Structure formats: structure tokens, C-alpha cells
Amino acid sequence: MTEKGEILKLYKNLGETPLECIERLRAENLAYKEVKMTYLGRLDPMAEGLLLVLAGDTKNKDSYLDSDKTYEFEVLWGFETDTYDTLGLVVSGEGKMPKKIEERMPKLLSEIQKIKIQDYPPYSSRTVNGVPLFEYARQNKIAEIDIPQRGIKIFSIEHLNTRLISKLDLLNEIIKRIELVKGDFRQNEIIGRWQEVLRLSREEHFLISNFKADVSTGTYIRGLTYEMGKFFGVGAIAFWIKRTRMGEYKF
């Protein structure tokens, strides 16, 4: 290992934080145990895939951050959560399916690709007055601040397929994924809310659509799924996210 910065291409597992991914690398490869590292772009606990890490000389970290990215992701229709993904409290919805989804899909993709400005999700690490947004959200103070925005580009987005999932399979899958997450992410409260909402839902099957998108750096896929739900008027959350490319690096 040299002093010069080295780009490491890691696979962040579902449920891990980026820091936990780095710690796993150190444990599995002792050559990196004492090497300074920083990740080049976050991935949420409910996302998996490519995580680039700069090891050794990290002074030029910012020069690596402005990379376009490719994601594959699944959208669960009919629900909204406060995090825009499954690791959040359900705030509305009972799983209603969008009407004429296949017929209206081209229009949805066209509208999503027009998005140029995106609000940061309430549960994100973006700071306002030195405080992360997720801290405002946890304290129910998010309405007291102006949510920051940033410019983004959706270079391409395509619908791959749509499938049905049963109520029992959906609940089991959500619980399995949430239980992979360590630390305090309100897991027990979130699982309890999902159990209650699905128990009360009159639906027995739910729709999940799979997409692939090429986007600019800083684009929140969770935010795009939130906009998709607004388009159909039934709500939507990110059910699964996988990052497959960052600039020239890919899996």
C-alpha cells in the first residue's frame, strides 16, 4: 500500500452503512487496517451496490465526487413513508395500485426525466444551520426550516418490468431487510407500523415496478420514487436500490 490515494471498488451490502462497509473491508483485508479512507458518495442502508472508497491520500476527495451514476431500483406503489423507502414510518396509503399503469408508464418516464431541481429528502445527511435534515425530521421540526434543493439531471430512465407480490411476502421481505440494519434507525417502530398498515389494508397483492436510470451526481432515487407516486396519485416508495456505476467504475 502506497501513500498515494487509491480508488477501491467495494460492494456495499443491503443493510450496511458506508462506514460499516469500510470496516468490513478492514476486517477482511489487514493491509488496509490502518490506512486512512473516505467514501466517495453515500449509499443509504436500504441501498446496495457500488461504493467507491479513496484510500491513503484523501486530500483530493472532492475531485472524484462529480460522477454520473447508474441505478437499478424497484418502486412499491400505494404507500408513502417519511424516508421515501421501506426503512421509514408509513405516513399514508394502503397499497392501492395505480390505474392503467402500463398505459401511463411512458408519460411517467417523460415527466420524471424533466425534473431539474430536487428537494433533499427529510431523512438525509444534508445540513441546515449545521444540523442534518434527519435530526430535524426526528424531532418533528422539519416544517420549521426551508428544505434545501439542488440541480439534477436524469439522462435516461426506463421501465424494466412490473410484478405482483402478496401481502405476506411483502411483509416478510420488509422485515427481513430492516433487520439487516444495525444502530438506531427506529427499526421496531417501523416494523410495527408496517405490520399494522398491511393488516388493515384491503389489498391482498401489491405492485412493484423495476426501473433503470442514469442520473447526475447528487440525485436521490428515493426522491424520484416519491415524485412517481405523486404522478399516479397513490404514493410510492423505493423498495430496493442498487448502484451499478459511478463514472467509469461499474459492477
- Give the number of domains in the chain: 2
Q: Does residue 168 sit in the same domain as residue 54?
A: no
Show the domain range for 112: 69-116+152-250
Tens-level pLDDT at each residue, the chain (251 residues): 445 689 999 999 999 999 999 999 999 999 999 999 998 988 999 999 999 999 998 887 777 778 999 999 999 999 999 999 999 999 999 999 999 999 999 999 999 999 999 999 999 999 999 999 999 999 999 999 999 999 999 999 999 999 999 999 999 999 999 999 999 999 999 999 999 999 999 999 999 999 999 999 999 999 999 999 999 999 999 999 999 999 999 98
CATH number at residue 107: 3.30.2350.10
Q: Does residue 112 sit in the same domain as residue 13?
A: no
| pLDDT tens profile 172-197 | 999 999 999 999 999 999 999 999 99
Predicted TM-score (pTM) of the model is: 0.94
Domain C-terminal end among 61, 92, 108:
61
Q: Does residue 14 sit in the same domain as residue 104?
A: no
Q: Does residue 32 sit in the same domain as residue 110?
A: no
**Residue 152 — φ and ψ, nearest 5°?**
-135, 170
For residue 122, is it within any domain? Answer: no
Q: Does residue 164 sit in the same domain as residue 53?
A: no
For residue 129, is it within any domain? Answer: no
| pLDDT tens profile 63-110 | 777 899 999 999 999 999 999 999 999 999 999 999 999 999 999 999
Q: Does residue 14 sit in the same domain as residue 106?
A: no
Give the contacts of 132 (CB within 8 A, at least 6 positions apart).
124, 125, 126
